[in-house]
Each structure stands twice: as structure tokens, then as C-alpha cells.
């Protein structure tokens, strides 16, 4: 038997049932285990013949199906307790019945426990999907997918491959445990939640693309296809709705477009015929990562006009083309206003940037003014000394004059410190004006668009570095100038 084909095992079990070897067959599977339960006509007859060819074939098939990481347990039960238990094929083969069981009905229970931390095995895909559909709680389905592995190794299909943004399902013979997923876009989820109220936002973190896969007409498992299409559409409709909530198996959506639409759906009967149209529209919202607020508003208007009987799943026409056309018209009608607005912001940003240049210029002028003042005093004393000549008995560089000159130098130093203090406060004030500019237009432009326009990532850092570099350079020149004059005044006074 092919070790990766559970359908052959299923067919074999069905044939045994038809031959009245079994009374009843039940297969169930969830994320944690796969359970095959067979109703026996006679426990004693089963145990007597447990090593017969037909049962050897059955147990061999079960153990060959099991993934090498998973564990298996075989129980023989009556209506009260487990009578016999086996963990390996060898234990079954060496079992010797002692004729100590009464001839009554019981059950053969085969439990395969899934223990891998890297992936989840699925032996009977239809039964696994049936388990999900029978939970009757869409929130619980999302919780299960959040809790368990996002890679699934499937034994029940020969040619199966589905890869979404977060999940990977593949036939055992094609399964790649090293497959890599795209990172979930937390910014996208945040943007969605900022523009609609979702009652389950705290517990459901999935995006439509986590369950969206383009299924062609030859897709091998219709139950899987239907489940994932319903999950994806449920998440897409919550994006386009202003208000939505998932409560058990009930989905509630409310949209405020040109018309207000409210509708409730049963998750199991959600019509997905418009899924691809909706998904194209959803994908376009984030195509260029800008103007999201405008796009979602236009989309809601278009959808509200295209729904029939206030049913989001009953759409007339092509909503994707309508949304795209309306958005293009919107851009053409508003392009001049948009350009004028961007030019206005650019002008204000230029004015703010110029303010930083003015701060450096003012500091430079203060330095030059200080330099000219000291130069004038020094040159005046030198000139006076030359005019009086060597015949004068009255010295120019006296101690009193020296004290006066040192006082002037100290005053110049304090003046520099005050200028730096004032410059720091003016710089902070300009940064406040920059933040005010951003807050003023944040409601008119998309956040990412505004950040790009304002160079938000490096504006502060760039200008702060420019101010610090320039003021530090002029401050060093200022200090050196004061030091040169101090040495000159001291030398001339001593020499006098």
C-alpha cells in the first residue's frame, strides 16, 4: 500500500464494512489527533482473528499511513472500558488471545496523535474540514489556526498544494517543511482597524490574504475550497464595512456609503461568488500604499450602490471596475486641489527649513559682531600707542585697562552663551511649528503620503544635525578668538 494515500485505507475500510466484518465506521480528525472508530460485531471474534490476513492488512495499512513523527494507539473497547491496547504493529502481531472475553459488541479505536512542532499532519482532509465546519463558531476557527502550526502535511490527496500569505497545505510527497511565508503586515492591519470598527479586532488578527487562494475549476477538494473562500470573504467584508462583528456562526456587517446597508449572514451559507471581485478591490486599496482613506470611502459608496436587497454578496455588475473608475474620476476632479495643497505644504516646509538657516546666520552675525568689536578696541589701543610714540611717559596698557579688557572678553563669552541658549529655544519652537504643520494636514492627506511629503523620517535629524554642526563650529571659533585676545592683552600689559 502507498504509505501516503489514506484514500486507499478508507476504501479498504468501506469494503470491510460492506462484507459485514464491521458494523459501523466513523472517522474524525482535528488539529491534535485523527481517530478511526470501528464498531465490532463481536469483540471475541475480532481478538481471535486479529492476526488473520485481513486484519494484518488493516493494521499494516494504518501504521504505514502514520507520519514518522506522530504516535499511534489501538484500543479494543466494550461499552465500559478499554479491554486491550496496542502501540506498535509488533504488539499486535504477537498478541495471543486467551478466550476470556464474552461474545459481545465493542469497538476498535485507532488514535493517531499529532506531535510535531514544525507542521500539522492531516490524514483525512474531508473529515478535518468537517470538524472545522461543525464548530459552529467562526471565531473559534480563527483561534485554532492562530494556535496551531501554519504548515500542513496532507496524506489524503495525491495532488494538493495551497499556499496563502500565512498557510501552506501540501501533499505528503510534495511537502516542503522549509517553505517561507511573507511577514504579516502589521501596518496594514492597523490601518484597517483605524478605518472601521471590528468587534473581534482584539482576538482575530488575520487578513483576507491569509486565507485567499485562487482555486481553479480542477481543484481536488471542494470542501477545503469552500471553507477558505468563506473565511477570506468574511475578512474582506469586514474591511469594507464601517462596523462588523463575528458572533458564533453569525456575521454582521454595516456600511455607511451612499446608502446605509446592514446585513447578517450565517457563516456556513455565505455566498462566495463575488470573492475574486472583492479581493481585487481590497488589493487595490493597498496597491500604492497611499490615499487609503479616500479609496475606502469611494469603495463603500460604490458597493452600497451595487448591492441588491442590501446583500453584500449579491452584487450587480463589476464592483472592482466601478471602484477603479470612480477613483480615477475623483483624482481628475481633485488633482488641481491636491497639487495646490502639496505646493502649499512644500512652501511652508521651505519656510521652516529657511528658519534653520536663519538661526545659523544670526549666530554667525553675532560672532562677527563680537569679533569686530574686539578688533576695534584692540586696534584703537595699538593706534593710540603708535600716535603717542615712545616719548610718552603715560603707558597705554595699564593694569586698569587690562581689567577693563578682560571684563569685555568675559562679557563677550557670556553673550555667546546667551546666544546659544536663545538659539536652542528658537530651534525647539521651529520643530513645534513643523509638528503643527503635520497635524494641520493629517486629516486631508494619507499619513504615508504626508510623511513622504514632509520628509518625516529624517527632517528633524537632518536639521538638528545641521544646527549642532554649525553652532559648534562657530562656538569653537568664538572661543579661540577670545583666547587669542586674552593672550594678546596679557602679553602687551606685561610688556608695558
* Spatial contact of 377 and 466, defined as CB atoms under 8 Å apart: no
Contacts of 273 (CB under 8 A, 6+ apart): 313
| Same domain flag for 358 and 305 | no
The answer as to whether 222 is a domain residue is: yes
With 0.85 as the threshold, say if the pTM is over it.
no
The answer as to whether 326 is a domain residue is: no
Distances (CA, A) of 99 to 45, 89, 306, 369, 462: 10, 21, 73, 116, 90
Domain boundary among 317, 344, 372: 317
| Same domain flag for 263 and 340 | no
| Same domain flag for 393 and 313 | no
| Same domain flag for 162 and 198 | yes
Q: 142 in helix, strand or coil?
A: helix
| Same domain flag for 284 and 366 | no
DSSP string, 267-309: GGG---TTHHHHHHHHHHHTSSS--HHHHHHHHHHHHHHHEET
| Same domain flag for 159 and 302 | yes
The answer as to whether 156 is a domain residue is: yes
Domain boundary among 267, 291, 317: 317
Q: 143 in helix, strand or coil?
A: helix
| Same domain flag for 376 and 230 | no
The answer as to whether 263 is a domain residue is: yes
| Same domain flag for 307 and 427 | no
The answer as to whether 322 is a domain residue is: no
The answer as to whether 476 is a domain residue is: yes
Closest CA to 280 of 267, 293, 295, 268: 295
* Spatial contact of 76 and 108, defined as CB atoms under 8 Å apart: yes
| Same domain flag for 365 and 302 | no
| Same domain flag for 409 and 466 | yes
Distances (CA, A) of 196 to 93, 278, 290, 296: 62, 17, 17, 10
Sign of CA dihedral 184, 188, 190, 192: negative
Sign of CA dihedral 109, 110, 116, 122: negative
Integer Cα distance of 240 and 192 in angstroms: 9
Work out how many domains the chain is built from and give that number: 3
Q: State the cell numbers at 383.
A: 593706534
The pLDDT value given to residue 2: 45
Q: What is the CA radius of gyration of the chain?
A: 41
Closest CA to 265 of 313, 325, 219: 313
Strand 33-40's sheet: what is its strand order?
A: 24-29, 33-40, 106-113, 71-77, 82-86
Integer Cα distance of 266 and 247 in angstroms: 10
| Same domain flag for 100 and 141 | no
The answer as to whether 329 is a domain residue is: no
DSSP string, 297-363: HHHHHHHHHHEETTEEEEE-S-HHHHHHHHHHHHHHHHHHHHHHHHHHHHHHHHHHHHHHHHHHHHH
| Same domain flag for 50 and 193 | no
Residue 96 sits in which domain range? Answer: 6-115
The pLDDT value given to residue 124: 92
Query: Would strands 33-40 and 24-29 be described as parallel, antiparallel, or unpaired?
Result: antiparallel
List per-block mean pLDDT (blocks of 10 residues) for the chain, which spans 496 residues: 63 74 86 93 86 85 89 91 90 84 84 94 93 90 92 85 93 90 82 93 93 86 93 96 94 92 94 92 80 85 88 85 70 62 76 76 73 72 65 60 78 79 79 77 64 68 78 78 78 71
Sign of CA dihedral 244, 249, 250, 251: positive
User: Burial, 62: exposed, middle or buried (Cβ in 10 Å; 0-12, 13-18, 19+)?
Assistant: buried
Q: 74 in helix, strand or coil?
A: strand
Amino acid at each position: 500500500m502507498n504509505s501516503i494515500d489514506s484514500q486507499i485505507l478508507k476504501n479498504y475500510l468501506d469494503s470491510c464494512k460492506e462484507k459485514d466484518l464491521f458494523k459501523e465506521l466513523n472517522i474524525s480528525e482535528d488539529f491534535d489527533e485523527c481517530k478511526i472508530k470501528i464498531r465490532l460485531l463481536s469483540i471475541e471474534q475480532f481478538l481471535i482473528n486479529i492476526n488473520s490476513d485481513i486484519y494484518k492488512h488493516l493494521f499494516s495499512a494504518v501504521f504505514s499511513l502514520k507520519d514518522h513523527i506522530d504516535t499511534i494507539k489501538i484500543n479494543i473497547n466494550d461499552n465500559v472500558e478499554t479491554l486491550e491496547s496496542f502501540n506498535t504493529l509488533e504488539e499486535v502481531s504477537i498478541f495471543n488471545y486467551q478466550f476470556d472475553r464474552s461474545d459481545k459488541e465493542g469497538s476498535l479505536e485507532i488514535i493517531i496523535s499529532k506531535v510535531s512542532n514544525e507542521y500539522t499532519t492531516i490524514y483525512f482532509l474531508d473529515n478535518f474540514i468537517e470538524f472545522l465546519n461543525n464548530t459552529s463558531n467562526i471565531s473559534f476557527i480563527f483561534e485554532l489556526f492562530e494556535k496551531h502550526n501554519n504548515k500542513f502535511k496532507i496524506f489524503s490527496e495525491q495532488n494538493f498544494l495551497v499556499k496563502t500569505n500565512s498557510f501552506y497545505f501540501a501533499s505528503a510527497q510534495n511537502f516542503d517543511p522549509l517553505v517561507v511565508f511573507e511577514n504579516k503586515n502589521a501596518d496594514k492591519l492597523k490601518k484597517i482597524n483605524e478605518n472601521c470598527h471590528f468587534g473581534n479586532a482584539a482576538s482575530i488578527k488575520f487578513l483576507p490574504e491569509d486565507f485567499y487562494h485562487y482555486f481553479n475549476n480542477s481543484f481536488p477538494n471542494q470542501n477545503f475550497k469552500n471553507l477558505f473562500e468563506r473565511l477570506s470573504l468574511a475578512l474582506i467584508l469586514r474591511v469594507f464595512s464601517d462596523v462588523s462583528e463575528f458572533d458564533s456562526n453569525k456575521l454582521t456587517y454595516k456600511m455607511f456609503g451612499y446608502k446605509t446597508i446592514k446585513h447578517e449572514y450565517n457563516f456556513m451559507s455565505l455566498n462566495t461568488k463575488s470573492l475574486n471581485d472583492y479581493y481585487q478591490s481590497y488589493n487595490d486599496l493597498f496597491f500604492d500604499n497611499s490615499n487609503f482613506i479616500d479609496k475606502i470611502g469611494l469603495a463603500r459608496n460604490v458597493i452600497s450602490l451595487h448591492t441588491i436587497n442590501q446583500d453584500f454578496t449579491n452584487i450587480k455588475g463589476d464592483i472592482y471596475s466601478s471602484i477603479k473608475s470612480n477613483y480615477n474620476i475623483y483624482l481628475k476632479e481633485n488633482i488641481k486641489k491636491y497639487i495646490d495643497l502639496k505646493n502649499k505644504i512644500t512652501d511652508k516646509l521651505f519656510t521652516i527649513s529657511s528658519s534653520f538657516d536663519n538661526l545659523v546666520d544670526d549666530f554667525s552675525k553675532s560672532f562677527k559682531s563680537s569679533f569686530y568689536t574686539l578688533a576695534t578696541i584692540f586696534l584703537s589701543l595699538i593706534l593710540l600707542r603708535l600716535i603717542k610714540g615712545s616719548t610718552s611717559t603715560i603707558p597705554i596698557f595699564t593694569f586698569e585697562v587690562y581689567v577693563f579688557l578682560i571684563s569685555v572678553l568675559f562679557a563677550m563669552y557670556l553673550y555667546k552663551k546667551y546666544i546659544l541658549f536663545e538659539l536652542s529655544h528658537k530651534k525647539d519652537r521651529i520643530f513645534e511649528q513643523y509638528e503643527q504643520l503635520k497635524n494641520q494636514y493629517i486629516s486631508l492627506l494619507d499619513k504615508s503620503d504626508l510623511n513622504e511629503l514632509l520628509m518625516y523620517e529624517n527632517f528633524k535629524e537632518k536639521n538638528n544635525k545641521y544646527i549642532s554642526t554649525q553652532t559648534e563650529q562657530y562656538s569653537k571659533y568664538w572661543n579661540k578668538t577670545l583666547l587669542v585676545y586674552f593672550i594678546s592683552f596679557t602679553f602687551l600689559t606685561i610688556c608695558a
